[in-house]
Structure 1
Amino acid sequence: MTIEPEAVVIGASAGALEALSAILPALPAGFRMPVLVVVHVPPDRRSALAELFRAKCKLPVEEAEDKQPITGGTIYFAPPAYHLLVEVDRTVSLSSDEPVLFSRPSIDVLFETAADAYGPALIAIVLTGANQDGARGLKAVVEAGGTAVVQEPATAFASAMPEAAILMCPSANVMSLGAITQYLKEV
């Protein structure tokens, strides 16, 4: 029996704008799952990501707020300087705990907490980036029975993050951005 996916988490760093621009605007208006996104952004200034993608996407796009219920068909971006966590009651939690791998928000933190909340009903995607953030979190998703997807390193602006994710999760589905987009539209 296959488990119906209930949520998507995405992590990206260097080259994120280009990679996310290939995926998020392509999601159809009827896309039923929430999409939670962590991008490494400078902590000392406002992020324009939600604003930028709101103009491009068919789905509602928001910067996540503490204690906000997670709604299907909505894209949530982590705010600068806060970890984005998913609580087991499927609400968002923001934390100013220590950076992980020099990053806050951390992809690992989002993926690990989402794996606890959604288990096998989670799809986790690691995109372009120049460090190892996301690899440990992706492993937690796999261990919880979720689906691991990694951008083909050769197609990434920065290949370190996808390469680290594949090393830690050799069973991950490695795909081009176009294939990731198609996959999401079909699940």
Structure 2
Amino acid sequence: ESDDCPTVLVYGHYDVQPPDPLDEWITPPFEPEVRDGKIFARGATDDKGQLFTHLKSIAAWISSVGHLPVNIKFLVEGEEEVGSDNLERFLHDNRQRLAADVAVISDTSQYGNGIPAITYGLRGIIAAELTLTGPSRDLHSGIYGGSIANPVNAIAALCGSLVDASGRVQIPGFY
């Protein structure tokens, strides 16, 4: 590690989506097999393949040049496919060890088959749980229609207000 060089943090994950249904696999999902020059196995492209590419690229650079022009750190986790529940705490607890000038996310897609791509941003994810309470019993629309809000209409209006017609988020402070 050199104080004179910038530091790159490479993030990836080794966990995979469940292999079910197993009967749709031509070969066992956790036994890699090469067919037509391609590796088939659960997680080969999400995300083990990308991580392997980084490792082999670093090895090739060192083999041909002798040293890297940057410091490299890897953060590889095993909970990405289930929401990375412990990642935030790990990042907080290891802030100094993980400090870097740039982070590379080793978990994105290609533009097309055989076309390399550099993805410079991802949308991310946000989650919320809403509880909407309505009448505790059926109410006849001929008597109550219009005077008591229908919970389905209320939640539809709420969801519809989150983005505009072009897909831009309308939540104050979002951007």
Q: Shorter-chain TM-score: what band? A: under 0.3
Higher relative contact order (CA 8 A, sep 6+): 2
Asked which structure has the greater CA Rg, the reply is 2
**Higher helix fraction: Structure 1 or Structure 2?**
1
TM-score w.r.t. the length of structure 1 is 0.24
